[in-house]
Structure 1
């Protein structure tokens, strides 16, 4: 029996199958996930990320990140300090926040593996196109939430599950590094467990505030 990597519940069922992988869904939090045996190893995973060509000099990439940056920036006090979790090989969101006066720390297990960033508190934490890659999202999100000051924000960008039929033809599941898939219901469930206020400013953005 498979346990849910978000809530650890054992009540999971088959959700989808294709020629590459299997996908299961948790009956409690509704997370859809790939079994551990079908994940890439770290070297394979990094090889995929190394092909990413993101850069703060790319206006299109900035516009893409703007879907999270703009609604979050409006909620921040001047000088609020943040952490960009899972910044990737071409950190850009952190540059955008620093340009408007928000000091930023970076963490990425492959490209910025400085764990000292987890020894301080933050006014906000961002994770853009990150949670779908996490093997243990329950543990990782709990760690991030513990670093956020009261009243602070956790802002996540990830495309959301829209149902079994849409899932079967969804381009998002073709990326072999994508192993966890959140729906709006999943975020509502997790936010309720953590006593967070949750809003969805865009189809792939969720902002949760710590009360």
Structure 2
């Protein structure tokens, strides 16, 4: 059964995109024809315990140079855009917060939020010069609500930096794509999706690297 509306843009123009007949956790995927988001339906989402068990296998360590290099894909282009001593939020900071430390080392002030590891909703009562979400948006069950909330916390001229692998709305690509095989990855964004978000927010958007997307809020 088709979902009623898209979980990002609320459009009812949704089609069945792909069926996985293997033993993978999710069997069906749908695509919104308005914003081009691809997503698994609620029946194929992990529950909170399953999500937490998967996140507990992550070995994120601020002292790990390999992990820092990975995060630098977003850190470097975003840091180059920031004014000195900017104020930022790392959304979805995970079990070993690291990106916030990198920005603090560069002279910025940071807060962090993670619904499993640092669930302090007071962060959403403040505004920020920049917000980061690295390897987070593919986990969101309600991306329209969550991303609009983050956008509302950005100051005029502020930046939202996202890291996620970008999907291609091609069946052969999607069928063999390892990124969707993580059971906690349930929401997949094409470049058209991010361009739709830019239009939705009246923002500019840049793609400085393969998996890096940076939006700027109008002044």
**Alignment-derived partner of residue 6 in structure 1:** 8
CA deviation after TM superposition for structure 1 residue 16, in Å: 1.1
List, as ranges, runs of 4+ consecutive aligned residues in structure 1 with deviation greater than 3 Å.
none
> 1:164 Cα deviation (Å)?
2.2
Corresponding residue of 2:101: 95
CA RMSD of aligned residues (A): 0.7
Task: Give the drift of 1:17.
Answer: 1.3
TM-score by length of 2: 0.95
Unaligned stretches of 5+ in structure 1? none
Deviation at 1:100, TM superposition (A): 0.6
In 2, the alpha carbon distance for the partners of 1:45 and 1:209 equals 31
Does 2:124 match 1:123? no
Q: Pick one of 67, 85, 90 that aligns with 1:79.
A: 85
Report how far residue 59 of structure 1 moved.
0.5
Runs (5+) with no aligned partner, structure 2: none
- Give me the whole-angstrom Cα distance separating, in 2, the residues matched to 1:132 and 1:10: 21
Task: Provide, for residues 133-186 of structure 1, a one-character-per-residue CA deviation record: whole Å limited to 9, x for no partner.
Answer: 000000000000000000000000000012322111000010000000001110
Aligned to 1:15: 17
Could you state the TM-score of these two structures normalised by the residue count of structure 1? 0.98
State whether structure 2 residue 191 is matched by structure 1 residue 184.
yes
2:172 matched to which residue of 1? Answer: 165
Which of residues 198, 204, 207 in structure 2 aligns to 1:197? Answer: 204
Deviations 1:57-102 (A, max 9, x none): 1101101000000000000000000000000000010010000111
Partner residue in 2 for 1:43: 49
Counterpart CA distance in 1 for 2:19 and 2:109 is 44
Count of residue correspondences: 211
Q: How many angstroms does 1:4 deviate by?
A: 1.0
Task: Please state how far the C-alpha of 1:114 moved relative to its aligned partner.
Answer: 0.6
Write the distance in 1 (CA, Å) between the matches of 2:82 and 2:167. Answer: 29
Distance 1:196 1:165 in 2: 32
Cα separation, 2, equivalents of 1:95 and 1:183: 30
Q: CA–CA distance in 1 between the matches of 2:111 and 2:46?
A: 28
**Aligned pair partner of 2:146 in 137, 140, 149:** 140
Distance 2:69 2:7 in 1: 32
Alignment partners' CA distance in 2, 1:164 and 1:141? 27
CA deviations over 1:13-44 (Å, ceiling 9, x no partner): 11111123211100100000000111011111
1:175 has 2:177 as partner = no
